[in-house]
Amino acid sequence: MNPFRHAILRLRAIVARASLEKDMQSEMREHLDRATDRFVARGMPLADARLAAKREFGNLQVLQEEARDARGARWVDALQGDLRFALRYFARHKAGVAIIVTVLALGTGANALIFSTFQAQFLRPAPALSDDDSRARIWALERATQTARWEPRLFAQPELVALAEHREIFSDVAA
């Protein structure tokens, strides 16, 4: 089957689910009725013929589930069920919903703040400065003891003022 036809059939399975479901159930009922008629024609009583037809046909619920899976739109049914459950839950547990929304909002805000800060400090140059080779970023380093590693630190305001005053080294200082 070509991909275009396959996509059309999947879309039809999503859009016309109720119609396809009704068609599937009527077709399976038709098969059961034909098998029942065949057993009745052999001389079996109607109730026994119906049971024999069901045994021959197989488990109706399992066959229907397999047919739904073959259509390929089962995820739509699962999504609808999940949404209905979520809406019922939200309607019953308003305090829980408020807590969930608050936690998600705080988490989203914290994530945005942390990423924005990281991006501004480490990934992008200062917006007032052009990104060319005449600019240099200076890091202050310090170590707590003689044997400790050198660690980067921020400049204090008096240090920045002192650097800005050295016009023979720097033309300007921005912080």
Read off the pLDDT of residues 130-150 as tens digits, 9 standing for 90 and up: 666 666 677 777 777 888 888
Mean pLDDT of all residues in 86-108: 94
Q: pTM score, two decimals?
A: 0.42
C-alpha angle with apex 162: 157 to 167, nearest 5 degrees? 135
pLDDT for 103: 97
Give the largest Cα separation in the chain, rounded. Answer: 114
Mean pLDDT of the chain: 84
Mean pLDDT of all residues in 157-164: 81
Q: Which amino acid is at 14?
A: I
Given a contact cutoff of 8 angstroms between Cβ atoms, the answer to whether 164 and 173 are in contact is: yes
**CA distance linking residue 91 with residue 31, whole number of Å:** 44
Neighbours of 21 (CB within 10 A): 15
pLDDT for 35: 93
Of residues 77 and 94, the one with the higher pLDDT is 94
